[in-house]
Amino acid sequence: MMTTIGCIADDYTGGTDVAAGLRRAGLRVALVFGVPTPDLSLPPCDAAVVAMKIRTAPVELASRHVATTYDWLTSQGVQRYYYKYCSTFDSTPEGNIGPITDLLLQLTGMQTSVICPSSPIHGRTVYQGHLFVGDRLLSESPLSSHPLTPMTDPDLVRFLGRQTAGRVALVSWPEVATGPSAVRDAVDRLDRSGVRHVVTDAISAGDLRTVATAMQDRSLLTGAAGLAEAWGQLVHDRLYDGEARRDGGAPPAPGTAGDEHSATLEDGSAGDTLVLAGSCSAATLGQVSEAKAAFPSYRLDPVRTPDPAQMLEEARAWLQAQASGRPRLIYSSATPAEREAAIAAMGSRTAEHLEDVLGALAVHAAAAGTRRFVVAGGETSGAVVSALGIRQVLVEDELEAGVPWCTTEGRRPLRLLLKSGNFGSSRLLIEAAP
């Protein structure tokens, strides 16, 4: 089986989100964490997602990692690429969405990119070039006060224009509503006029299907998980419903465990789950509040314990004192006022210190026999996966849209659920740790 789509995601939970979308499309999906090394090979899959921590990295470093990943995906036989960024377009005025898209255009030889962060399943839509979260403009949502990437401008054409020297233009919803031919003609017209980046409106899954159909033969698309899923559905139809079918076997049903790994998913007690929450988003704060009432919890508090080594020692002692076979929650999620107090106590590297502690606690728990980890927050997920030394997983069933379970390979697999800070219902953490 040849891997058809190679996806580069700008953080770890973004990687699980887009992998879930591709799996919903019916594709076999492998998820790789971090910049791949030459010795790493993909298992048989239709799509490969490489998740990296480049959303807020310096542009030069992020570009270097993307170029290396592109070369590795090419060595695995990939010829079509997808750049996945957040459906809330999280970035700074300097990047990295514009610079990375420019780089991928250069690497693929494409002249024009398609920019489509719409993800209606998560309430993110684009209309007249403006990004909405639910019924509010992005600038009026909680993302406007994000601690790393405050999104105060919902105009994607204007915002992206600050990140790139290339011209940015819009294909508006009336053209999208007309159908794939109208979108294709509009993009071609803008391409001929020298536009480098084309933002497309999309307010429904049908609109995403229209954009994907219009652009399906391109070697590069960019967007959130919504457009990737729509593109994946078209790829699935080619692979499994026609003469292009490659492996002679039926594809796994979307959203179900697949192949020989399904038998290992419940290895160990379902109750022996460690929940680690580091995101400070409103969604995660609500989920943590619900989880605290459901099972034992411990807060990492920099004001009380500003020394990271002592914080880790105390948290380990708490973890060891808990009865086995029950879910446990350790969290550093905090309100804006609590974050300010924490920085005053621990210093400017507070977030990094907390991530390191959460990662070390995951290692400690795994050594003690915990096989299931639920992690809330993109940066926290990166810290935990890196600390556990996980390089590659297979994507399995979703707990909620965009939040899939992932399973490591081997005789004693770990089962992971990595959740974007903004994703999920209020009871997600409880439902993940029955």
Range of the domain at 263: 259-432
Mean per-residue pLDDT, 130-145: 94
The pTM assigned to this predicted structure is 0.85
Q: For residue 39, tell me if it sits in a domain.
A: yes
Least Cα distance to 221 among 5, 1, 2, 3 occurs for: 5
What's the confidence (pLDDT) of residue 165?
96
DSSP letter, residue 414: -
Domain boundary among 240, 274, 307: 240
Cβ-proximal residues to 40 (8 Å cutoff; 6+ apart), any chain: 32, 72, 391, 392
What's the confidence (pLDDT) of residue 268?
44
Per the structure block, which two tokens stand in for 173?
């919803």
What CATH number does residue 419 fall under? 3.40.980.20
- In this structure, are 92 and 217 located in the same domain? yes
- Within 10 A of 172 (CB to CB), how many other CB atoms are there? 16
Which residue carries 């692979």 as its tokens?
239
Q: What is the pLDDT of residues 265-305, one digit of tens each?
A: 444 445 589 999 999 999 999 999 999 999 999 999 999 99
Domain boundary among 205, 240, 275: 240
What's the confidence (pLDDT) of residue 353?
96
What's the confidence (pLDDT) of residue 84?
98
Q: For residue 247, tell me if it sits in a domain.
A: no
In this prediction, residue 43 has a pLDDT band, given cuts at 50, 70 and 90, of confident
Mean pLDDT of the residues in the chain: 91
Dihedral (C-alpha) 246, 252, 257, 263: value to the nearest 10 degrees? -70
Point out which residues pair with 50 in neighbouring strands.
8, 32
Q: What is the pLDDT of residues 307-355, one digit of tens each?
A: 999 999 999 999 999 988 889 999 999 999 999 999 999 999 999 999 9
What's the confidence (pLDDT) of residue 263?
35
DSSP secondary structure, 357-374, as one string = HHHHHHHHHHHTT--EEE
Instruction: State the Cα–Cα distance between residues 420 and 378, nearest whole angstrom.
Output: 5
Instruction: State the Cα–Cα distance between residues 47 and 373, nearest whole angstrom.
Output: 24
Q: For residue 253, tell me if it sits in a domain.
A: no
- In this structure, are 134 and 181 located in the same domain? yes
CA angle 343, 348, 353 (to 5 degrees): 85
- For residue 2, is pLDDT > 80? no
- In this structure, are 44 and 165 located in the same domain? yes
- For residue 398, is pLDDT > 80? yes
What is the DSSP pairing of strand 220-223 with strand 80-84?
Answer: parallel
Mean per-residue pLDDT, 242-246: 40
